[in-house]
Amino acid sequence: MFALFRINYHNQYHSAFGDSQVLNQAKKLWLESLSRFNVESILQGAKRAIEQSDYLPTLHKMIGYCQGSFGHHGLPEAHQAYLEACNAPSPKANHQWSHPAVYYAGKDSDWFFLGNNPERIAFPIFKENYSSICQRIISGETLPAPEIKRLPETIETPLSKAENLKRLKELRANLKL
For 121-145, write each residue's pLDDT tens digit.
999 999 999 999 988 887 778 889 8
Task: Please name the residues in contact with 26: beta carbons below 8 A apart, sequence gap of 6 or more.
Answer: 16, 17
Q: What is the pLDDT of residues 163-176, one digit of tens each?
A: 999 999 999 999 98
pTM summary value: 0.57
Contact 9, 61 (CB under 8 A): no
Kindly report the CA angle at 29 between 28 and 30, in degrees rounded to 5? 95
Residue ranges per structural domain of the chain: 2-68, 73-138
Task: Please name the residues in contact with 147: beta carbons below 8 A apart, sequence gap of 6 or more.
Answer: 93
In this structure, the number of other CB atoms found within 10 A of the CB of residue 127 comes to 16
pLDDT above 80: residue 28: yes
Cα separation, 125 vs 114, in Å, equals: 9
pLDDT at residue number 69 = 62
pLDDT at residue number 116 = 95
